Amino acid sequence: MVGGTGGGETITMSMHESAVQAAHAHAAPQGFIRKWIFSLDHKVIGLQYFFLALAAVFVGMFLSLLMRIHLIWPGAVLPFFGEIKPETYLSLLTMHGTIMVFFVLTTAPQGGFGNYFLPIQIGAPDMAFPVLNMLSFWTTFLGFIVLLAAFFVAGGAPLHGWTGYAPLSALQSAGPGEGLGADLWITSIAIFCIGALMGALNFITTTLDMRAKGMTMMRMPLTVWAWFITAILGLLAFGVLLSAGILLLMDRNLGTSFFVPLVTVNGQLTGHKGGSPLLWQHLFWFFGHPEVYIAILPAMGLCSQLLSVFSRKPIFGYKAMVYAMLSIGFLGFMVWGHHMFMSGMSPYTAFAFSIMTMGIGVPSAIKTFNWLGTIWRGRIRFHSPMLFAIGFVSLFVTGGISGPFLAQPVLDIYLHETYFVIAHFHLIMGVASIFGIFAATYYWFPKMFGRMMNETLGKLHFWLTFIGAYAIFMPMHYYGMSAGLRRYSQSTEVAYILKLLPLQRFITFAAFITIASQFLFLFNLFWSMAKGKKASDNPWEATTLEWITATPPPHDNFGGQTPVVHNGPYEYSVPGAPRDYVMQTDPEIEPAH
């Protein structure tokens, strides 16, 4: 008999039954469909998420390209698209935001790399619920298709911004695209919520229940901590977004008035009354603020990882890093009102939210100090992953510094809804987080595909994107300081905004170059899959569990064996050790510090 481990249930399995099931568990899938389309293997599912996000980011970038062109040449007649009307600009803006936030920043770092590497980094053979994992990908994919469909229906895509404030988003008559396009937009987000919740379920259960022997919580790599905390944030936040979406669909289609007070549009009463536009904002931002931490935490975890690996030095303050991420996650649920200082919310409530918001800046600052502390006295190797990690720190600092301006309501009176806000969130989410995705790609490509990406192209991609991103988003601070307002499809109507057009021109040209540079990455990615230099199992000489498996890993990750962990994840440059790195599965080092 194979004994169970007790608890309340003393069920044991017969030898026969366990042998039958073991045979099923070991067998890799056969056939193209089971192997690549409806795969239950977390590694394939991770790649599927990655490629979905890759497609989404190029769509999102293309939309922003059209926006940038329209801003400086409003009357331009483009080939194929014709003239971009103001409402079209707004729908481009809406879809750009929605695609990037959901299908890139919430998909690639967590669904993509998290799915692929979380089980391996904790020594597990797969996620806890492989069928659910597969369903979570296809649900997300369906959400993307439904979202894109909004472009092609009568009225086109909605124009209410990714934040979808009611009543603009709740009234079919409030503008072009607010008909079927808006319903598809809400539906797609609801579908995405369900897919994200399914994914979060897997991440949390797997991390809690499937760690290999010796892999205590405090020996987990910071990437795993980041994915774990991100999943908890998602678990708590996406249900609220789903609820808001349901209420909005009811207001739009069933005549309820959750969000819509008595209003007239184009002189017509709409039949709604008594609803609260602020209720939408509260529900949306209760989700929306944790969402931005969902977008950045995996990149923070990876940055910690890469700075350590490529400085050949343990992460500075592992425990502090863990507590900082936990604090960011926890506090992230208490600051949503800072998006609503000007909304008509009580000023006393605003004050409370602003104090909490300043508080959440503290753990972020701690992380930044610790990243610098990791590099200090290291032996830095400047491979592409490291360049993007260093770039991440710089961009995170820049994007983070504008936060305390916006967190103070007195200053937010002026800065709210200006380009200063756009600069802030793009630098943190749109660039720093994306640098996390790039870094992850260059770092884990050898493990996923068995080949190295081209270093020269990688370095070129880094420099063009790093300088290009600053060139795009730094001037937006100045534009915002001059009261340049966001979501304006053109600057021709307000005199003081028109005066700022030279800044917009500079930004647009910087965007042309930066967007073009991304094709270097795309080329490098696909070319290296076929023709890149073959990679060893551990080309970066790193210590975490993914580097002890084969390259690429076999179906059950560890070839039928279970790793046993004796060390923490950042044992580099251990005095007295034969090499400058000690694998997590190597014999335990004596605690020195």
Q: Rule CB under 8 A: which of 564-583 touch another protein?
A: 564, 570, 572-575, 580
CB of 234 to another protein, least distance (A): 9
Q: Segment 387-416, which members bind another protein (CB under 8 A)?
A: 387, 390, 393-394, 397-398, 401, 404-405, 407-411, 413-414, 416
Indicate the DSSP class of residue 572: B
Looking at 58-66, 146-154, 497-505, 513-521, which segment touches another protein (CB under 8 A)?
497-505
What is the C-alpha separation between 71 and 66, in angstroms, rounded?
Answer: 9
135 binds another protein (CB under 8 A): no
How much is the CA Rg of the chain, to the nearest whole Å? 25
Q: Segment 75-94, which members bind another protein (CB under 8 A)?
A: 85-87, 90
217 binds another protein (CB under 8 A): no
Q: Segment 11-40, which members bind another protein (CB under 8 A)?
A: 11-14, 16-18, 21-22, 24-29, 35
What is the C-alpha separation between 447 and 43, in angstroms, rounded?
Answer: 11
What is the C-alpha separation between 275 and 272, in angstroms, rounded?
Answer: 8
417 binds another protein (CB under 8 A): yes
CA 566 to chain centre: 32
- Contact yes or no for 316/373 (Cβ under 8 A): yes
CB of 105 to another protein, least distance (A): 20
212 binds another protein (CB under 8 A): yes
CA 343 to chain centre: 27
529 binds another protein (CB under 8 A): no
352 binds another protein (CB under 8 A): no
Q: Which is nearer to another protein, 72 or 265 (CB)?
A: 265
DSSP secondary structure, 295-319, as one string: HHHHHHHHHHHHHHHHHTS--TTHH
String of contacts with another protein for each residue 231-260, x by CB under 8 A: ----xxxxxx-xxx-xx--x---xxxxx-x
Interface with another protein (CB under 8 A), residue total 209
CB of 291 to another protein, least distance (A): 14
The type of residue at 331 is L
Preceding omega of 167 cis (within 30 degrees of 0)? yes
- Contact yes or no for 347/334 (Cβ under 8 A): no
Q: Which two tokens stand for residue 493?
A: 């109507």
267 binds another protein (CB under 8 A): yes
Indicate the DSSP class of residue 77: E
362 binds another protein (CB under 8 A): yes
String of contacts with another protein for each residue 427-446, x by CB under 8 A: --------------------
- Contact yes or no for 125/556 (Cβ under 8 A): yes
CB of 267 to another protein, least distance (A): 5
> How many CB atoms neighbour CB 457 within 10 A?
17
209 binds another protein (CB under 8 A): yes
What is the C-alpha separation between 122 and 215, in angstroms, rounded?
Answer: 7
CB of 399 to another protein, least distance (A): 11
